Structure 1
Amino acid sequence: MFCKLALRNVTRSLKDYAVYFLTLTFGVCIFYIFNSLESQWCMQMLAQSAHYIVDTILILMDVFSVFVSVVLACLVLYANTFLMKRRKRELATYFLLGLPTVKVSLLLVLETLVIGLLSLGAGLLLGVLLSHGLGLLTMSMFAFYPAGESFGLILSGKTIVKTVLYFGVIFLVVVLFTGLSVSRARLIDLIQGGRKNEELREPPLWQSVLTFLLGVALLLIAYTMLLVRGLLYIDPLFFLMLALGTLGTLLFFRSLSGFLLRLVKVRKGLYYKGLNMFVLRQFNSRIHTTYVSMTVICLLLLLAIGVTACCVGLNHTIGATTDASAPYDFTIQNYSGDVSPTDIPALLTENGFDAETELTATRSCDLYYNDAGITVPGQGSSDVVISLTDYNALMALQGRAGLSEESLPQLGTATLVTGFSGVGAYLVVDDATAATLSVRRQIFVGNFAGDPQTAETALTAAVQSQGFAQTGSYRLDTRLQIYLENMGTKILVLFMGLYLGLVFLVTAAAVLALQQLSQAADDQKRYAVLARLGAPEGMRDRAVFTQVFLSFFLPLALAAVHSVVGMTAANAVISVVGQVDSVQSSLVTAALLFVIYGAYFLATYFGARTVVRGNGLRTR
């Protein structure tokens, strides 16, 4: 009987509390997607040349997963508290019928178990499908992938077990809290749970204005400290800045409990239009006790926007450095070239790699030790020098313009340029000056004539052969190797940022949605009174829309302002290593907000509208 009753209650809960079920499902889905990265093709590819980056990604994923599980546990507990609040009179009915506390707790445990299993199954199924989409996304980020290879759905048994374990612990905690709340419940409180109204205490206008101005002043101080000091100085002033920003946000929302209502009252036409007076007074009474949660939601949205935008912007910067650091398919350096120079192309051919047929656009040249007198005023110096002729030849291989001898400064100075593939920055001097310097090492660069992966494998085998080892000390850097290292960093930044950004965004949206549905259930009788007074259904629906809109987009608006200031400071740091693609990061962040936050907003509006019409959250 208990199982049948629990299943019946869960079925009704899935219909009435769709936001709760979807949030649990989405939490499981996100957890599975980002913990199944080990099975993705991109990670297996990176492990071939940059296994240390793969290990770093997996370790950070484990650490982040613990943090995410704590966040999701708090979210599930909050959602469960919401469900318990809506079912107070149902629980009172069970007690009045003589059902003991132990059996009521057992019934709720069974319901929690059913909900957990349903959301876990749906979340894992969705996670498997979306992880395939994530795999295709990461594959598209690579400039190459094995030809003819198919990429089907990947089912990670290890990740499934991990997800079940983490969420099993979460639901165990939920069961314990549910049993504790039922054991402490008093019958009179359960019966009168829906009759407690919040007292509307309208603060004096001067107090609201003063609170608002103080909050804005604290925010401006925090903004100024952030822009002037930057993000890199972690000291007591940094934490003071965070405290001022948080307190300013709290005071801003606290002042709305009287400031917004008084402000609209001045405009009589707007205040008395439709049901605006009713909506504003309802919003005013709610924000008196919800300004703390609105502050938390605003900060969560700030983290979601900031983390997502920064990771996408930095991801573009990291990707743009690949061509600069690896302009050729390969670079071979003979560190013994100063004492035992060799013919590197001939040596390759002797050790099984035909340089004539396998390579194209090659160049051999020497690097020299710098003379103490060769410097670049205002730019510094370098230990490595290259002749003008060799430099222009290397630039020609890249399709770039070289330098003329007239463009070089007088003897004793040089031009400092960026290096390539393990060489670093070096000085360019005229050929006559280079001839007076001692050879430091030999370099041989070029591009592959055929498939880069096949050619790199053969080239690596030749350089690592005994024939090379007997003639000197060599280092091989390939574009593919450097590319994979950069891609590893790129994926690390992108995945970590998206993981946290999505969790923060879903948490903020879910908390808001559950909060608004709960308030809509409390307002059901008030909307029924409006209906009896003659307010048409369309007007009541617009009132619900306005209430939900204010609750969703006021925290979002302030979070957007926070994020603009934060991104300005973050871009100042990122721009040191490269150009930040602010347009791309803004578009991606806006798209995620539009899809996820907008979906929760619409779901909440339609759910709240159904509730106030009397067809939603029923008292069982």
Structure 2
Amino acid sequence: MFCKLALGNVRRSFRDYGVYLLTLTFGVCLFYTFNSVEDQGAILYLREKSHETVRAILTVLSVLSVFVAVVLACLILYAHRFLLRRRKKELGCYLLLGMSPGQVSRLLILETVVTGLISLFAGLILGSAASSGLSALTLSLFQMDVSAQLGLVFSPGAAMKTAVCFGAILLLVMALSGVEVTRARLIDLLRGERKNEVLPLRPLSASVIQFVAGVACLLIAYGILLNFGLVTALVILPLCAAMLILGTAGTLLLFRSLPGFVLHGVKKRPALYYRGLNLFTLRQWLSRVHSTYLSQTVIAILLLLAMGITASSVGLNSTIQSLTDEQAPFDLTVQNRSADQSGPVDLDAAIRAGGAENALAWSYDCLLYYNDPAVTGLEEASGAIALSDYNALVEHLGRPAYSGPLPHLLTWEEDVPATGGLGMQCILVEDDVAQRLEVRRQLWSADYAGDKQTAEGTILPLISGATQGLDGPDIRTDSRLDLYQETMGSKILVLFLGLYLGFTFLLAAAAVLALQQLSQGADNARRYALLGRLGVEEKALARSAAHQVTLAFLLPLGLGLIHAAVGLSAVNQVITVTGNLDSSSGSLSAAALLLAVYGGYYLATLLSCRRMALSAAHRQREE
């Protein structure tokens, strides 16, 4: 009977307060996903290549997991205290019916165990799917065939670590629940639902002044960030302090002033204010903003961090990718730097002799020359390249051939394309002029056919063998695969940290906001019952509850989006030194993450609040 009562309570609690289960499940999913990275394909691939950043990635994620575990613990405790607060009358009835405080505590412990097992199981399943998605995302950063690393992989170590951490949090929840029940008085439990917040009134004129002051603070903070730049604003302590203080104060003032400011404006439109339940809906929503402006400020800042960090990390990875592509236009570039002494090496003949010509889709061999100002007429560059050779290289890359006047000093935007770079500036000269210059280097470039790793494994030994027996050739070989692997560790680290922190902040903001709305929905039950007695239709009650939840979720989200847009603009100003931040892909990824988590909490809260309103109206009509 005791177990049956606990299971019934769990089922009813999930139906009425699905946000609690959602928070537990998302917490388990988040913790498992990022603690299973050592078994994901990207890390396994880098470990096979003995990549030096693997240990750094795992160490940083382990340290960050401690921070995330603390955040999740606080979040779960907050959610459980909310659920316990809504059940005070029910617990008081148990005591009134003869159950001892110890029995009520054991009932709560059993309910917590059942809830924890369900959410742990669901979270691990969701985490396995999310882990595979994260693995596929990181593997997509590789410009090579890593299909063998794809697949659904379950990490027992990460599952055990998640279960231990989650179990410790639930033990803390059980202990605090037992203490709260044993120390509570029966009269306080029975009257728990009647203890609503006291909402002091504020003058409308003060609200307008606070709104203007809040906008001014935000504009000044935005101006500091955009005019001085992100690096300067963060390095110079007075600027950083002023920017953060003004930004936080502006956000707080906006939320504090909003109730009176909006109410004053809507009252001037009686047709809107007195239509349907708009008066009730607006006042209930504004009363919640009125009393929780501090938490609304924190939620907006958390959403700013979630969107900004996620968009920046994904966009920065795309930027690194584009910069790497610029440094590696071809799959392979071989520079014979001693061609001025030993002459060029026929690499194409060596590859044909090794029977590997099918491994190449394209190759081109050309010479670079010493610049002789007496011949070329230009002194600014140390090297020269014939026009036909330059055009052959750029046309293979899909760029237009040069058709301007000669000689021409190449800028860095139109430099001689070579993987790894030349390390010198060149000028373009006509082919007959190039014949009058001394040879400086041999430049051989190629693109692979088929699997790039296999092709490279075949070509490099042949090139090494062709140059090994020559007298003192200075050979430099630059591979696109090598350049990608050098940047892969930093790309994965940036991506993992961005997603981990962004998801954590987003989860915290959405859960706190949802629990606040559920608390208001429960407090409004008696008001909905009174409206039902007065004859208000159920559709109107459900619509009023839905509108309150929608407004509550849109307000901090809108301000967070404005903050994030300004922040990303400042980040882009820093990135423009080497290349533009790919804000489009970063913003789309951040938006997808936001919709998945924030939208899920919104829907769960909306359904729960509508159910509360309709249940209160039904009970009133039955009475």
Normalising by structure 2, what TM-score? Answer: 0.87
Instruction: Confirm or deny: 8 A CA contact 1:198 1:285 kept in the other structure.
Output: no
Instruction: Confirm or deny: 8 A CA contact 2:391 2:402 kept in the other structure.
Output: yes
Change (3 A) 1:518 1:365: same
Q: Please give the alpha-carbon distance, in whole angstroms, between the structure 1 residues aligned to 2:165 and 2:103.
A: 27
User: Does 1:227 find its partner at 2:261?
Assistant: no
Match of 1:427 in 2: 425
Cα deviation per residue 1:549-584 (whole Å; 9 max; x = unaligned)? 221111111112212212221222233332444444
Instruction: Confirm or deny: 8 A CA contact 1:361 1:446 kept in the other structure.
Output: yes
Match of 1:245 in 2: 247
Instruction: Confirm or deny: 8 A CA contact 1:124 1:160 kept in the other structure.
Output: yes
User: Does 1:13 find its partner at 2:38?
Assistant: no
User: Does 1:85 find its partner at 2:79?
Assistant: no
Q: Out of 229-238 and 80-89, give the one that drifted further.
A: 229-238
Match of 2:106 in 1: 106
Q: Please give the alpha-carbon distance, in whole angstroms, between the structure 2 residues aligned to 1:283 and 1:64.
A: 36
Q: Please give the alpha-carbon distance, in whole angstroms, between the structure 2 residues aligned to 1:459 and 1:366.
A: 21
Instruction: Confirm or deny: 8 A CA contact 2:69 2:165 kept in the other structure.
Output: yes
**Structure 2: 5+ residue runs without aligned partners?**
none
Q: Out of 93-102 and 451-460, give the one that drifted further.
A: 93-102
Match of 2:611 in 1: 610
Match of 1:62 in 2: 62
Offset of residue 339 of structure 1: 5.1
What are the residue-to-residue correspondences of 1:246-325 with 2, within 5 Å? 246-325=248-327
- For residue 230 of structure 2, give the secondary structure of its aligned residue in structure 1: coil
Q: Please give the alpha-carbon distance, in whole angstroms, between the structure 1 residues aligned to 2:510 and 2:309.
A: 16
Q: Please give the alpha-carbon distance, in whole angstroms, between the structure 1 residues aligned to 2:195 and 2:476.
A: 77
Change (3 A) 1:39 1:197: closer
- For residue 286 of structure 1, give the secondary structure of its aligned residue in structure 2: helix
Q: Please give the alpha-carbon distance, in whole angstroms, between the structure 1 residues aligned to 2:398 and 2:588.
A: 33
Cα deviation per residue 1:75-103 (whole Å; 9 max; x = unaligned)? 11110110111121233234445544444
Match of 2:172 in 1: 173
Change (3 A) 1:415 1:174: same
Change (3 A) 1:473 1:177: farther
Match of 2:454 in 1: 454
**Structure 1: 5+ residue runs without aligned partners?**
none
The residue type equivalent to 1:164 in the other structure is A
Offset of residue 127 of structure 1: 1.5
Cα deviation per residue 1:575-600 (whole Å; 9 max; x = unaligned)? 33324444444443333333432332
The residue type equivalent to 1:300 in the other structure is L
Cα deviation per residue 1:171-214 (whole Å; 9 max; x = unaligned)? 23323333343344333322221122333422112211111111
Q: Please give the alpha-carbon distance, in whole angstroms, between the structure 2 residues aligned to 1:571 and 1:385.
A: 36
Q: Please give the alpha-carbon distance, in whole angstroms, between the structure 1 residues aligned to 2:391 and 2:418.
A: 14
- For residue 192 of structure 2, give the secondary structure of its aligned residue in structure 1: coil
Instruction: Confirm or deny: 8 A CA contact 1:520 1:608 kept in the other structure.
Output: yes
The residue type equivalent to 2:304 in the other structure is L
Offset of residue 608 of structure 1: 0.5
Q: Please give the alpha-carbon distance, in whole angstroms, between the structure 1 residues aligned to 2:77 and 2:193.
A: 21
Match of 1:562 in 2: 563
Instruction: Confirm or deny: 8 A CA contact 2:42 2:138 kept in the other structure.
Output: yes
Match of 2:331 in 1: 329
Q: Please give the alpha-carbon distance, in whole angstroms, between the structure 2 residues aligned to 1:424 and 1:169.
A: 57
Normalising by structure 1, what TM-score? Answer: 0.87
The residue type equivalent to 2:195 in the other structure is K
Offset of residue 606 of structure 1: 1.4
Q: Please give the alpha-carbon distance, in whole angstroms, between the structure 1 residues aligned to 2:166 and 2:474.
A: 54
Q: Please give the alpha-carbon distance, in whole angstroms, between the structure 2 residues aligned to 1:344 and 1:617.
A: 90
Q: Please give the alpha-carbon distance, in whole angstroms, between the structure 1 residues aligned to 2:532 and 2:404.
A: 88
Instruction: Confirm or deny: 8 A CA contact 2:345 2:467 kept in the other structure.
Output: no
Instruction: Confirm or deny: 8 A CA contact 2:317 2:495 kept in the other structure.
Output: yes
- For residue 518 of structure 1, give the secondary structure of its aligned residue in structure 2: helix
Match of 2:211 in 1: 212
Instruction: Confirm or deny: 8 A CA contact 2:528 2:617 kept in the other structure.
Output: no
Instruction: Confirm or deny: 8 A CA contact 1:331 1:476 kept in the other structure.
Output: yes
Offset of residue 59 of structure 1: 3.2
Offset of residue 40 of structure 1: 2.6
Instruction: Confirm or deny: 8 A CA contact 1:346 1:355 kept in the other structure.
Output: no
Instruction: Confirm or deny: 8 A CA contact 1:348 1:355 kept in the other structure.
Output: no
Report sequence identity in percent. 50
Change (3 A) 1:415 1:513: closer
Q: Out of 16-25 and 319-328, give the one that drifted further.
A: 319-328
Q: Out of 299-308 and 104-113, give the one that drifted further.
A: 104-113
Q: Please give the alpha-carbon distance, in whole angstroms, between the structure 2 residues aligned to 1:269 and 1:445.
A: 74
User: Does 1:552 find its partner at 2:553?
Assistant: yes
- For residue 194 of structure 2, give the secondary structure of its aligned residue in structure 1: coil
Q: Please give the alpha-carbon distance, in whole angstroms, between the structure 2 residues aligned to 1:259 and 1:554.
A: 14
Match of 1:194 in 2: 193
Q: Out of 225-234 and 590-599, give the one that drifted further.
A: 590-599
Q: Please give the alpha-carbon distance, in whole angstroms, between the structure 1 residues aligned to 2:304 and 2:75.
A: 18
Instruction: Confirm or deny: 8 A CA contact 1:353 1:458 kept in the other structure.
Output: no
Instruction: Confirm or deny: 8 A CA contact 1:610 1:616 kept in the other structure.
Output: no
Instruction: Confirm or deny: 8 A CA contact 1:46 1:485 kept in the other structure.
Output: no
Offset of residue 344 of structure 1: 5.5
What are the residue-to-residue correspondences of 1:38-187 with 2, within 5 Å? 38-49=38-49, 51-97=51-97, 99-140=99-140, 142-145=142-145, 149=148, 151-187=150-186
Cα deviation per residue 1:122-162 (whole Å; 9 max; x = unaligned)? 11012113333444444555554267x59432111122122
Change (3 A) 1:345 1:30: same
Q: Out of 434-443 and 128-137, give the one that drifted further.
A: 434-443
User: Does 1:599 find its partner at 2:600?
Assistant: yes
Instruction: Confirm or deny: 8 A CA contact 2:46 2:54 kept in the other structure.
Output: yes
Q: Out of 75-84 and 360-369, give the one that drifted further.
A: 360-369
Q: Please give the alpha-carbon distance, in whole angstroms, between the structure 2 residues aligned to 1:158 and 1:433.
A: 67
Instruction: Confirm or deny: 8 A CA contact 2:513 2:553 kept in the other structure.
Output: yes
Instruction: Confirm or deny: 8 A CA contact 1:306 1:563 kept in the other structure.
Output: yes
Structure 1 counterpart of 2:347, from 337, 345, 348: 345
Cα deviation per residue 1:282-321 (whole Å; 9 max; x = unaligned)? 2233223211111111111112222232233333323333
Q: Please give the alpha-carbon distance, in whole angstroms, between the structure 2 residues aligned to 1:373 and 1:242.
A: 60
- For residue 232 of structure 1, give the secondary structure of its aligned residue in structure 2: helix
Q: Please give the alpha-carbon distance, in whole angstroms, between the structure 2 residues aligned to 1:372 and 1:91.
A: 94
Offset of residue 107 of structure 1: 3.1
Instruction: Confirm or deny: 8 A CA contact 1:318 1:489 kept in the other structure.
Output: no
- For residue 443 of structure 2, give the secondary structure of its aligned residue in structure 1: strand
The residue type equivalent to 1:284 in the other structure is L
Q: Please give the alpha-carbon distance, in whole angstroms, between the structure 2 residues aligned to 1:164 and 1:339.
A: 67
Q: Please give the alpha-carbon distance, in whole angstroms, between the structure 1 residues aligned to 2:114 and 2:107.
A: 11
- For residue 164 of structure 1, give the secondary structure of its aligned residue in structure 2: helix
The residue type equivalent to 1:596 in the other structure is V
Instruction: Confirm or deny: 8 A CA contact 2:529 2:616 kept in the other structure.
Output: no
Cα deviation per residue 1:250-305 (whole Å; 9 max; x = unaligned)? 11111123222222222222221112222222223322321111111111111222
Change (3 A) 1:585 1:98: same
What are the residue-to-residue correspondences of 1:520-559 with 2, within 5 Å? 520-559=521-560
- For residue 613 of structure 1, give the secondary structure of its aligned residue in structure 2: helix
The residue type equivalent to 1:316 in the other structure is S
Q: Please give the alpha-carbon distance, in whole angstroms, between the structure 1 residues aligned to 2:435 and 2:514.
A: 74
The residue type equivalent to 2:38 in the other structure is E
The residue type equivalent to 2:213 in the other structure is L
Instruction: Confirm or deny: 8 A CA contact 1:139 1:145 kept in the other structure.
Output: no
Offset of residue 37 of structure 1: 2.7
* Aligned pairs, number: 611
Instruction: Confirm or deny: 8 A CA contact 2:367 2:385 kept in the other structure.
Output: yes
